[in-house]
Amino acid sequence: MNTLAPGLARIRIKDLRLRTYIGINADEIRNQQDILINVIILYPAADAVAVNDIEQALNYRTITKALIAHVEGNRFALLERLTQELLDIVMQQPQVHYAEVEVDKPHALRFAESVSIALSAQREQSR
């Protein structure tokens, strides 16, 4: 999504660094690991722009706090599952038109900086 439709805002939550239990090996199940989360959210911001009022804006702090609580309060076998659950949290906000969540697991593979999974969702727009 390179261009935005008129009135849509793009929120980016960049490099949210958290620790959680992620993986299937005994060591991964026993020890927390670092993960890195990036989120892109598109939502209609015309009202927020027009009235300069937080009540008209999408509260990205609330979303971020929900993501943190979910990651820190659970255990995950697969990056795919964790990524989908985080995407579901973002999409619970009715204002969100489109969201993309990418989760990186640093040093998951030898010789690689990280492995990541990205998933996206788009809300059906009524006409």
- The residues that bridge with 33 in the sheet, in sequence order, are 20
**pLDDT of 101 strictly over 60:** yes
- The mean pLDDT of the chain is 91
For residue 125, what is the DSSP state? P
Return all residues near 6 (Cβ < 8 A) that are at least 6 apart.
Answer: none
DSSP states along 35-95:
EEEEEEEEEE-HHHHHH--GGGS--HHHHHHHHHHHHHT-EES-HHHHHHHHHHHHHTSTT
pTM of the entire predicted model? 0.90
Digit-coded pLDDT (tens) for 11-31: 999 999 999 999 998 888 999
Helix (H) or strand (E) holding 30: helix 26-30
Both ends of the chain: CA-CA distance in Å? 21
Domain ranges of the chain: 8-122
| CATH dotted code for 8-122 | 3.30.1130.10
